[in-house]
């Protein structure tokens, strides 16, 4: 009989009773079991000793996996739609680790180059903290801060979202992981680093020592680890910079014609090019959702406003928005698979649910809780803004040949220094292929990538959504960064047995398991 998996007072192991599933139930995998490290159950305020103890528990789990030659993967809210967090070994469920530390002026390295505006806004968050919790805490009257950007919803953990490249569509900021300036990385069972960029030191070495980590400053190592989907160890905590608190005013325009005005807006991101946005000022956020079935579009535009002290917070999920049903999309997906001719009618019906009221809210309220939906299908292609219009024309033509219950959500992101940032162009247009998960959608995701290749359009794809990356495609998309990423992994995990623990099939299929 194999030895039981070791536990501690706050680390529990449970053998798998059924296959692991992602949140949207589009990925399923048989696995060995789950390790769950718990924050101390009496819920004391976070301090250095709690961080040390939690890290120790995680390293007990890593050691146990290594000794048994079993793979281990840290997961957050399991929101990824790709197989990036999937393992047949042990899942490390980080969802209970939500501690946080306010970085004070005394913690800052004399070499910290952050502006006076940034200095009071640094926070350390443990890996399991939800983006919802980060927003609510930052935006409170006590701290009066905001994230510059976030994904469309808030249910991901801060490390889960950043490790897979979650992005928003903010005109002057990169993806979510660009908030991160320090990473507490557990690199195997007995090493831990506080990783920073050498070009951007933030914390005194004494801070690293206080949480039991070795300070390590290296641009390539940081830029590799910050987007590594669990491949370089376990990211126990991250330190982020934040913005002074602000509000957003959101306008939705729908339906909007797919005409030359819209093409000009997408090609230039200049709001003056579109009559709906003209004269309204600089955009903070822009999303254009193109419905290839109804041949019209929706524009979501947001404008940054100064803080209003009379603002009343409301983060709650609203009852009226629960619907058409928790997994209604799976039934609809099956119907549309049988009757692809119904796809345009379905989208016409869905269009009626669009809320076009103008809204003023914090980022956390705006990109808040969403009705839980299963069987959501989402893939993506990301291209340079200069290729944006041509890409959309190609996708539209592809949809005519291979109808799928998807729309094209166009988001625009500034570049990131992360080695595997798929937002790597001077301005990237990420086309999120969103809709219902069925065979038609999966086929369309693959054909979208093939179509861009056939037309010689350089592209990348979202790590956390259904993607068609292969080793050859990664080499083409990321060039020398692939080698740098692999080298970084070897430096952070020099023992091949440690690298084996943090390997999964997703990496092997993409030539990243070295």
Partner 1 sequence: MKQLRHAGLCGLLLMTAGCAQYLVVAAEPRYAGQERDRSQVSIAGGTGAAPPQIIASDCGPGEQLAIVRVTRNFGEGLLAWLTLGLYAPATVHYRCATQPQPGGGEINTSGDA
The site for partner 1 (CB under 8 A) is made up of 12, 14, 18, 20-21, 23, 34, 36, 38-39, 41, 43-48, 77-78, 93, 95-96, 98-102, 104, 106-107, 123, 128-130, 132-133, 137, 155, 204-207, 209-211, 315-317, 322, 325-327, 331, 334-335, 338-339, 369, 372
**Cis amide leading into 251 (omega within 30):** no
Least Å distance, CB 48 to partner 1, is 5
Least Å distance, CB 34 to partner 1, is 7
**Of 164, 198, 157, nearest to 181 (Cα)?**
198
The structure tokens listed for 475 are: 């080499």
Q: Which is closer to partner 1, CB of 204 or CB of 276? A: 204
Q: Compute φ and ψ for 287, nearest 5 degrees.
A: -135, 135
Least Å distance, CB 313 to partner 1, is 11
Sign of dihedral through CA atoms 489, 490, 494, 496?
positive
Crossing angle of helices 480-492/471-478, nearest 10°?
110
Q: Which is closer to partner 1, CB of 40 or CB of 255? A: 40
Q: Which is closer to partner 1, CB of 366 or CB of 419? A: 366
DSSP conformational letter for 171: T
Q: Which is closer to partner 1, CB of 369 or CB of 427? A: 369
Least Å distance, CB 20 to partner 1, is 7
Least Å distance, CB 41 to partner 1, is 4
Q: Which is closer to partner 1, CB of 461 or CB of 504? A: 504
CB count within 10 Å of CB 204 equals: 17
322: helix, coil or strand?
coil
Least Å distance, CB 33 to partner 1, is 11
Q: Which is closer to partner 1, CB of 372 or CB of 494? A: 372
Report whether 482 contacts 474 (CB < 8 A): yes
The structure tokens listed for 451 are: 């179509």
Pairing relationship of beta strands 192-196 and 214-217 according to DSSP bridges: parallel
Q: Which is closer to partner 1, CB of 365 or CB of 387? A: 365
Report whether 378 contacts 328 (CB < 8 A): no
C-alpha distances (whole Å) from 17 to each of 29, 90, 374, 397 are: 12, 13, 21, 45
Least Å distance, CB 375 to partner 1, is 13
**Of 306, 276, 305, nearest to 288 (Cα)?**
276
């Amino acid at each position: 009989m194999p030895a039981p998996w070791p536990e501690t007072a706050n680390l529990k192991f449970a053998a798998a009773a059924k296959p692991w599933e992602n949140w949207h139930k589009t990925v399923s995998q048989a696995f060995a079991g789950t390790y769950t490290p718990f924050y101390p159950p009496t819920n004391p305020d976070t301090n250095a000793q709690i961080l040390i103890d939690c890290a120790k528990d995680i390293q007990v789990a890593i050691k146990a996996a290594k000794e048994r030659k079993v793979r281990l993967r840290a997961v957050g809210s399991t929101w990824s739609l790709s197989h990036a967090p999937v393992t047949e070994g042990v899942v490390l469920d980080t969802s209970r680790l939500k501690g946080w530390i306010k970085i004070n002026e005394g913690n800052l390295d004399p070499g910290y180059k952050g502006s006076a505006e940034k200095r009071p806004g640094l926070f350390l968050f443990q890996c399991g903290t939800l983006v919802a919790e980060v927003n609510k805490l930052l935006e409170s009257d006590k701290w009066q801060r905001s994230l510059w950007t976030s994904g469309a919803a808030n249910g991901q953990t801060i490390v889960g979202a950043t490790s897979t490249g979650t992005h928003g569509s903010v005109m002057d900021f990169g993806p979510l992981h660009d908030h991160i300036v320090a990473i507490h990385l557990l690199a195997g069972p007995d090493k831990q680093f506080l990783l920073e960029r050498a070009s951007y030191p933030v914390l005194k070495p004494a801070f690293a020592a206080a949480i039991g980590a070795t300070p390590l400053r290296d641009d390539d190592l940081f830029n590799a680890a910050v987007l590594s989907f669990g491949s370089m160890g376990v990211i126990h905590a991250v330190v982020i910079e934040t913005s002074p608190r602000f509000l957003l005013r959101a306008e939705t325009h729908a339906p909007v014609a797919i005409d030359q005005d819209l093409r000009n807006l997408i090609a230039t991101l200049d709001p003056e090019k579109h009559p709906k946005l003209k004269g309204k000022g600089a955009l903070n956020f822009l999303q254009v959702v193109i419905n290839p079935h109804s041949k019209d579009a929706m524009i979501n535009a947001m404008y940054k406003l100064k803080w209003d002290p009379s603002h009343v917070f409301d983060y709650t999920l609203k009852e009226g928005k629960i619907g058409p049903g928790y997994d209604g999309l799976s039934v609809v997906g099956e119907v549309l698979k049988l009757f692809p001719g119904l796809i345009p009618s379905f989208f016409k019906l869905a269009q009626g649910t669009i809320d076009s009221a103008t809204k003023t809210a914090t980022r956390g309220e705006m990109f808040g809780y969403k009705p839980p939906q299963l069987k959501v299908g989402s893939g993506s292609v990301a291209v340079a803004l200069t290729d944006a219009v041509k890409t959309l024309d190609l996708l539209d033509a592809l949809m005519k040949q291979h109808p799928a219950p998807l729309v094209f959500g166009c988001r625009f992101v500034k570049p990131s220094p992360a080695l595997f940032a798929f937002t790597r162009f001077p301005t990237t247009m990420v086309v999120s292929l969103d809709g219902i998960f069925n065979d038609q959608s999966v086929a369309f995701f693959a054909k979208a990538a093939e179509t861009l290749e056939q037309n010689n359009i350089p592209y990348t794809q979202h790590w956390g959504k259904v993607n068609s990356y292969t080793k050859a495609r990664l080499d083409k998309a990321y060039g020398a960064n692939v080698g740098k990423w692999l080298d970084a992994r070897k430096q952070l995990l020099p023992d091949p047995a440690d690298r084996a623990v943090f390997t999964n099939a997703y990496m092997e299929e993409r030539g990243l398991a070295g």
